[in-house]
Amino acid sequence: MSVTPSRIYLASQSPRRRELLKQIGVNFEVLLLRSDAIRGLDVDETPYSDEAAEEYVQRICAEKAATAYAVMRYRNLPNAPVLTADTAVILDGKILGKPTDTAHAAQMLRDLSGREHQVLTAVGVAMNDHVEMAVSTSTVKFVTLDEERIRRYLLNKEGQDKAGSYAIQGLAGAFVEKISGSYSGVVGLPLCETAALLKKFNVVTP
């Protein structure tokens, strides 16, 4: 890790994470886990029974990092740090995943309405069988959402593939009465923690 990498790999399809990396001037290439012989190493994101939220996001992020680095080696790509992340929305200690359908999404928004919840994002960087991890924890409070407002929000499908059924960087930003912690962490990639991790791999950010 004494060599200064000219770029990193981002093992995520999230356009939000791409935008955040660009924001801090990181040169990266997206590493898509396409279907190939190594796809069998895909990560199962199902929480274990009674698994704590922080342990969950760290475990999934670490598994994603190891899998992505293995894919990079399998494809004989130039060696470079691989960055992964995993975000979870937590309400009353329960992990809220992505909605399975519109009814599920509506119920999650009802549950979050007028209350505080936590957003945990784990970031991992892997290189040469070495993984560094960090976790960002933020608290978000929603305003009270009536049924009509939930219905209108769900029409745009913004939150259909998001943990907790909302995207803070989109229309749901108007739901947020208060946030304590990292805004970029709630979006999906805490920039302060990410920059600190990359520095350990000699990737310098502003």
Catalytic annotation, residues: 86
End-to-end, the C-alpha distance of the chain in Å comes to 20
Q: How many CA atoms lie within 13 A of 90 on its CB side?
A: 20
- Rg for the chain (alpha carbons), in Å? 17
In angstroms, rounded to a whole number, what is the distance separating the alpha carbons of residues 123 and 110? 29
Which backbone phi and psi does 89 adopt, to 5 degrees? -100, 130
Which of 193, 188, 35 shows the shortest CA–CA distance to 125? 193
Place of tokens 């749901």: 172
Place of tokens 């009814």: 103
Q: How many CA atoms lie within 13 A of 192 on its CB side?
A: 9
In angstroms, rounded to a whole number, what is the distance separating the alpha carbons of residues 159 and 194? 24
